[in-house]
Structures are given as structure tokens and as C-alpha cells.
């Protein structure tokens, strides 16, 4: 016995297990030989909110850990609950993303080494990837839990826009990455068409299902590319300023239509 | 909060050329109402209408005193609604807790501590507290059905719309769920469709029988059962005139309807007998409930 005793603060930290390893070992050693301090442990332990500790333990075991995407979205400023709602979209599944990356890698390599034909292939694939991924992020057909989700008060329009932005934030850098291997201006020429197609899909989703509209847009774009490739070997046709301005106008007009008709979004139907 | 009632006035619903519901009038109050009918009778369509998952082709629907045609009122309805669809898909990789937690987020439970406590409460109600961390794909069909039911129970809804809640659920759990639903029905409107007549008999004070989009019967369960009194009997042979007839485990035939023969043994009718009798026609005697 040295006459020294554990102070209240140290005792509380020991009882709550919030002390350091060294501090805890030292406190425990003292408690083994000090009756008065041992008598104070129960009182210190009494301040622990057992229910709160149990809830924290349950949370640790039960609450799903946020995915990498969720954590990125939180860092980007999205509240935790909305990051979860966005990350659930089918478009963020690993298999779907791996498929998209494979197609883009193939198109990128073809463009890098396949001369004009490879370039056409890249220009055919790159602009339609974002709109297909966007559509798959909120299409009722791909959303297996659509019906329980539909009858909740959460605004569907907000969910669709959040998922669209998140998907674009993920898809655009991915396509840009593969575009780096593409020589010349084509590496970026797909950006405006892609933006235009996403806006068209959003606008068309106020009439038909998102996936159907994305498939229609993709088919139309592939047909245009096929026709251009058949007529000329020069992919530069897509890169001309006039064509790019056309895609910009298409994007702006489509987004305006979407804003005007937003309450008739397919996701809100059949009530919209 | 609006009125605690759901009313339908001359409500019809068509899908292309197919008529799913025709001129349905209903007024639902707190308590459990059972919905019986053959496949394709319009039960799911009716429940989807009540749950605001589908608008009517004609007629007026009012849920809890609110009009689902008005977007703001529809959102208010959904805040007070629990809905279990006939088929629920689950996103891949979800646990039971994760899925119910996800639906709770959509139901505006944004505060984590309160939301997690509510998720635990509803998983406890359906007897899945011990399986909350189990992945849904590793669960049995009955367990997944209970997870789907748990999400409908979030937030003690004023109206609970359940499409075949006990499908694939084992007998013990069915009894437990009946207790839970009966307790909820003390203050809420509970409407459930099922093919299990014993669930309706054990739980519902009111039963609605739908057939080809029309209400064939709407009234107390006991009144419907009473319609079959004296018309269910056992004999050594099937009666060709009976509405239905089948061989029981004792080797005798249970005949529902038809002409009771001499020496036949009368038995107490069940709700299933009464339902089969109603479905089988029996033009000489119609039940006293509302007939369309």
C-alpha cells in the first residue's frame, strides 16, 4: 500500500473500458491490492448506460457496413441515409460495373490499335455507356424491390436524380480513363453526345420506361455510327464543331423537357 | 391524421382489354378484413389500389380521408401505410436487417438510433431477431416472407395492406403473426388476402369474397360459415350433385352442397366449406351478405 489511489476519472475510464492498454493494466494491478479502490469500482461501473452499450454492440453486429461507394458519397457531402439509398441501385453492382469496364476496355484498345475502325467502335460504345448505366440505376424492371419502394413517401424524383448524378460521377471518369489510350480528339469527343443521351433518356422516361428509352437511344446512335462508317472512313465527322454543338443543344432541350414533365416520370407512374 | 377508414366508390380497373375489377364499393374500418377468391379474382389489383401502387380506371378511392389522386395527399397516405406486395424482390447481398433498414430510410426514418430500434422492433414482431444478420439469399422462402412483412410493419401504420402474408410461413409462425396482426388491428385497418381460409377464420371479423372482379360476399365470417350449416356431410360415396366432394383420410367422402342422403353424417361446416359452396354456385341458396 502506498497511500495512492485511483482518481475518479481514471476509475471511470477503467470501468467503461475507454482507458489505454497501459493505463488499464496499471489500474488493474492497483485494484488487485487495494480494497478501498475495489469498493469504488462498482459505483463507477454504475454510471455506465448498459442499454446504450448494448445498442452500440447490436449496431456493430447488425448495421451493414457502408460500401466503398457509400463512403465516397458521404465524403462528397451526401448525408449518410441518402448515400445508402443511392448505393443500392443495381447499376452499382460489381458484375454490372465489371461488364461496363470490359466493354470500354475493349473499345479503348480497339481505338488505340485498330485505326479508323477501332476509332468508330470506341465512338459507338463510349457515348451510350453512361445513358445505359443511368437507366439501369432507376428502371423499375431492374429494381427488384420496386413495389415496396414505390409506396414509400420518399420522393422518387429526388431518388432518380441522386442516382443519375452518382452514376455519372462514376461512369464518366471510367470512360475518360479508357479514353486516355485513344489518340487525338476522339478521347473526349464522346462527352457531349453522352451528356445529350443521358438527358434524352431522362426526358423520354416521362413517356416510356428508362431502360426502353436508353435502348432506343443506343440503337439509334449505333445506327448513325454504322451509316457514317459505311459512308466514310473518317471518324472526324463526329468531332466537328457543328456536330458537337448539336449534341449540346440536344442535351439542353432534353433536360428542359425533363424538367417540365418531371412529375410524369415513369418511376412515379402509374400515378404521374 | 385523417379519418381512420378506407372507402371505394364504384371502383373499376382494367389492364388493356382485361377487366380486373368492376364497380367495387367498399368501406373499411379498423379491424382485420380478409380477402378470399380464386386466382385472377382481382385480389392483388384491389390491394394495390388500396396501397396507392395503382390508380383506378374509374371510381373514387379515399384512404384515411385522403385522395391518392392528389400527389401531396398520396405522399401523406404513404406515410401512414404499410404494404406487403404479393412478390417482393430483394437487392443482392442484403441481410434481413439491411433490407428493412433500407425501406425504413425510404419511409423517412433518417435518425439512425430511432431507425435501428424500429427495425429491431419489427424484426422481433415477425420472429426474426436472431436472424437479423443472415443474408436474405441464405434464408428460406418463409423467412424471406417474414422479412417482407417486417418492412410493412415499420412505424405502426394506420392502414396495413397485406397480399398473402402467410404464404410459405410455417404453422407456428402463422399463429404468432395472427397474434401480431390482431394487436395491430385494434387501432389500424388491416386488409389481407390469402388462400388460407383458416387464417381468415382465426383472424378476421369480416371477409370479402372476390370473383372475376366482383364482390360475391362481404360480411361477417360467422355469417358466411352459417350459410353452409346443414349442407356439409360425410358419406361412403361422392355426391355428383355436391358443389365439391373429396375423399377424406378416413376413407369417407366429404360432400359440400348437393342433396343430403339418408344415413349421411352431418358435420360442422368450416369457412373453407362455406367458401367452396359460394364458389360452387348453389343457386338455390345465396349468402345474406352484400352480393354484387
At B274 the three-state DSSP class reads helix
Whether residue B69 lies within 8 A of chain A, CB to CB, comes out as yes
Beta strand B189-193 with B58-63 is: unpaired
CA distance linking residue B192 with residue A261, whole number of Å: 36
Beta strands in B119-205, from DSSP E residues, in sequence order: 159-163, 189-193
- Asked if residue B183 has pLDDT above 90, the reply is yes
C-alpha grid cell, residue B229: 350449416
| pLDDT tens-digit map of A219-268 | 999 998 888 888 876 766 766 778 888 989 999 999 999 888 877 775 55
| pLDDT tens-digit map of B220-246 | 999 999 988 888 989 888 888 888 888
A153 vs B75: CB contact, 8 Å cut-off? yes
Q: What are phi and psi of B32, to 5 degrees?
A: -100, 125
Q: What are phi and psi of A98, to 5 degrees?
A: -65, -40
| pLDDT tens-digit map of B7-57 | 999 999 999 889 999 989 999 999 999 999 999 999 999 999 999 999 999
Find the CB nearest A144 among B74, B83, B91. Answer: B91
Q: Which whole number is the average pLDDT over B265-280? A: 89
Find the CB nearest B108 among A58, A59, A153. Answer: A153
A63 vs B116: CB contact, 8 Å cut-off? yes
Q: Hey, of A90, A148, A268, which one would you mutate to test binding to chain B, going by the most B CBs within 10 A of its CB?
A: A148
> Is A160 in contact with A138 (CB distance < 8 Å)?
yes
B103 vs A61: CB contact, 8 Å cut-off? no
B97 vs A93: CB contact, 8 Å cut-off? no
B97 vs A64: CB contact, 8 Å cut-off? yes
**CA dist B132 to A50, B45, B144, Å?**
21, 31, 11
Q: Which whole number is the average pLDDT over B121-128? A: 96
CA distance linking residue A268 with residue B87, whole number of Å: 19
Which residue intervals of A114-155 are DSSP H helices? 115-125, 128-138, 146-150
> What is the pLDDT, as a whole number, of residue B292?
35
B55 vs A148: CB contact, 8 Å cut-off? no
B120 vs A146: CB contact, 8 Å cut-off? no
CB-CB neighbors (< 8 A) of A146 in chain B: 89
- Closest-CA residue of chain A to B148: A148
Q: Which whole number is the average pLDDT over B88-102? A: 91
At B30 the three-state DSSP class reads coil
Neighbouring residues of B222: CB distance < 8 A, sequence distance ≥ 6: none
C-alpha grid cell, residue B96: 434481413
> What is the pLDDT, as a whole number, of residue A138?
75
Can you name the residues that pair with A70 across neighbouring β-strands? none
CA distance linking residue A111 with residue A36, whole number of Å: 80
Can you name the residues that pair with B193 across neighbouring β-strands? B35, B163
Q: Hey, of B102, B121, B130, B157, which one would you mutate to test binding to chain A, going by the most A CBs within 10 A of its CB?
A: B102
List residues of A whose CB lies inside 8 A of any B CB.
55, 58-59, 61-64, 79-81, 84-85, 88, 90, 93, 144-155, 263, 270-271
Longest CA span, chain A = 98
CB-CB neighbors (< 8 A) of B108 in chain A: 152-154
CA distance linking residue B273 with residue B245, whole number of Å: 10
| pLDDT tens-digit map of A179-209 | 676 666 666 777 888 889 989 998 998 888 8
Number of neighbours of residue B72 by Cβ within 10 angstroms: 8
**Residue whose grid cell is 442499454:** A51
- Asked if residue B133 has pLDDT above 70, the reply is yes
Tens-of-pLDDT digits for all 272 residues of chain A? 568 898 888 888 888 777 788 888 898 899 998 988 888 887 776 656 778 888 888 888 899 888 888 888 888 888 888 888 888 876 566 666 666 777 777 677 766 666 677 778 888 888 888 888 888 877 777 777 888 888 999 887 788 888 888 877 777 777 777 767 666 666 677 788 888 998 999 899 888 888 889 999 999 999 988 888 888 767 667 667 788 889 899 999 999 998 888 777 755 554 44
Give the residue from A183, A189, A97, A182 showing the smallest Cα distance to A136. Answer: A97
B88 vs A62: CB contact, 8 Å cut-off? no
At B280 the three-state DSSP class reads coil
A63 vs B101: CB contact, 8 Å cut-off? yes
| pLDDT tens-digit map of B194-223 | 988 999 999 999 999 999 999 999 999 999
Whether residue B226 lies within 8 A of chain A, CB to CB, comes out as no
Q: For residue A151, give how far its alpha carbon lies from the nearest alpha carbon of chain B (Å).
A: 6
CA distance linking residue B92 with residue B84, whole number of Å: 19
Higher pLDDT, B159 or A111: B159
- Closest-CA residue of chain A to B152: A148
Q: Hey, of A145, A156, A263, which one would you mutate to test binding to chain B, going by the most B CBs within 10 A of its CB?
A: A145
Find the CB nearest A148 among B76, B83, B117. Answer: B83
The interface residues of chain B toward chain A in range 103-162, judged by CB-CB distance below 8 A, are 103, 105-108, 110, 112-113, 116-117, 120, 132-133, 148, 151-152
ipTM of the complex: 0.82
Q: For residue A145, give how far its alpha carbon lies from the nearest alpha carbon of chain B (Å).
A: 5
- Closest-CA residue of chain B to A66: B98
Give one word for B83, left, alpha or beta, with left for phi > 0 and alpha for psi -120 to 50: beta
Amino acid at each position: 500500500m502506498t497511500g495512492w489511489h485511483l482518481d475518479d476519472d481514471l476509475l471511470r475510464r477503467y470501468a467503461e473500458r475507454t482507458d489505454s492498454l497501459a493505463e488499464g493494466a496499471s489500474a488493474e494491478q492497483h485494484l488487485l491490492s487495494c480494497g478501498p479502490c475495489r469498493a469504488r469500482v462498482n459505483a463507477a461501473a454504475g454510471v455506465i448506460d448498459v442499454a446504450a452499450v448494448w445498442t452500440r454492440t447490436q449496431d456493430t453486429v447488425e448495421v451493414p457496413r457502408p460500401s466503398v461507394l457509400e463512403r465516397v458519397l458521404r465524403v462528397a457531402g451526401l448525408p449518410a441515409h441518402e448515400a445508402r439509398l443511392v448505393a443500392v441501385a443495381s447499376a452499382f453492382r460489381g458484375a454490372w460495373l465489371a461488364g461496363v469496364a470490359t466493354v470500354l476496355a475493349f473499345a479503348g484498345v480497339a481505338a488505340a490499335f485498330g485505326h479508323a475502325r477501332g476509332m468508330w467502335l470506341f465512338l459507338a460504345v463510349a457515348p451510350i455507356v453512361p445513358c445505359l448505366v443511368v437507366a439501369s440505376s432507376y428502371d423499375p424492371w431492374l429494381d427488384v424491390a420496386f413495389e415496396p419502394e414505390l409506396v414509400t413517401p420518399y420522393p422518387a424524383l429526388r431518388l432518380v436524380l441522386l442516382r443519375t448524378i452518382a452514376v455519372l460521377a462514376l461512369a464518366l471518369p471510367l470512360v475518360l480513363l479508357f479514353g486516355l489510350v485513344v489518340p487525338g480528339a476522339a478521347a473526349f469527343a464522346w462527352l457531349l453526345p453522352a451528356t445529350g443521351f443521358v438527358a434524352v433518356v431522362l426526358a423520354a422516361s416521362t413517356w416510356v420506361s428508362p431502360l426502353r428509352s436508353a435502348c432506343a437511344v443506343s440503337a439509334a446512335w449505333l445506327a448513325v455510327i454504322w451509316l457514317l462508317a459505311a459512308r466514310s472512313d473518317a471518324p472526324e465527322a463526329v468531332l466537328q464543331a457543328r456536330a458537337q454543338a448539336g449534341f449540346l443543344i440536344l442535351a439542353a432541350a432534353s433536360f428542359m423537357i425533363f424538367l417540365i414533365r418531371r412529375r410524369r416520370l415513369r418511376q412515379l407512374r402509374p400515378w404521374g | 391524421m385523417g379519418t381512420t377508414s378506407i372507402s371505394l366508390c364504384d371502383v373499376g380497373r382494367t389492364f388493356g382489354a382485361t377487366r380486373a375489377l368492376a364497380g367495387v364499393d367498399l368501406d373499411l374500418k379498423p379491424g382485420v378484413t380478409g380477402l378470399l377468391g380464386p386466382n385472377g379474382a382481382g385480389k392483388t389489383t384491389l390491394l394495390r389500389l388500396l396501397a396507392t401502387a395503382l390508380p383506378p380506371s374509374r371510381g373514387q378511392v379515399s384512404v384515411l380521408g385522403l385522395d391518392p389522386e392528389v400527389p401531396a395527399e398520396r405522399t401523406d397516405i404513404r406515410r401512414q401505410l404499410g404494404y406487403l406486395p404479393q412478390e417482393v424482390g430483394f437487392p443482392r447481398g442484403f441481410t434481413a436487417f439491411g433490407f428493412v433498414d433500407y425501406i425504413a430510410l425510404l419511409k423517412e426514418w433518417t435518425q439512425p438510433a430511432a431507425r435501428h430500434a424500429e427495425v429491431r422492433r419489427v424484426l422481433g414482431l415477425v420472429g426474426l431477431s436472431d436472424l437479423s444478420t443472415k443474408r436474405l439469399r441464405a434464408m428460406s422462402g418463409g423467412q424471406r416472407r417474414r422479412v417482407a412483412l417486417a418492412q410493412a410493419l415499420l412505424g405502426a401504420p394506420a392502414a396495413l395492406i397485406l397480399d398473402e402474408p402467410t404464404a410459405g410461413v410455417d404453422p407456428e409462425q402463422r399463429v404468432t403473426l395472427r397474434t401480431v396482426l390482431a394487436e395491430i388491428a385494434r387501432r389500424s385497418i388491416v386488409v389481407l388476402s390469402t388462400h388460407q381460409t383458416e387464417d381468415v377464420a382465426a383472424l378476421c371479423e369480416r371477409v370479402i369474397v372476390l370473383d372475376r372482379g366482383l364482390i360475391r360476399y362481404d360480411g361477417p365470417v360467422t355469417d358466411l360459415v352459417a350459410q353452409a350449416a346443414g349442407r356439409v356431410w360425410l358419406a361412403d360415396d361422392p355426391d355428383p350433385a355436391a358443389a365439391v366432394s373429396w375423399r377424406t383420410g378416413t376413407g369417407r367422402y366429404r360432400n359440400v352442397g348437393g342433396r343430403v342422403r339418408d344415413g349421411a353424417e352431418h358435420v360442422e361446416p368450416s369457412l373453407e366449406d362455406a367458401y367452396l359452396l359460394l364458389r360452387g354456385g348453389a343457386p338455390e341458396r345465396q349468402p345474406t351478405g352484400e352480393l354484387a
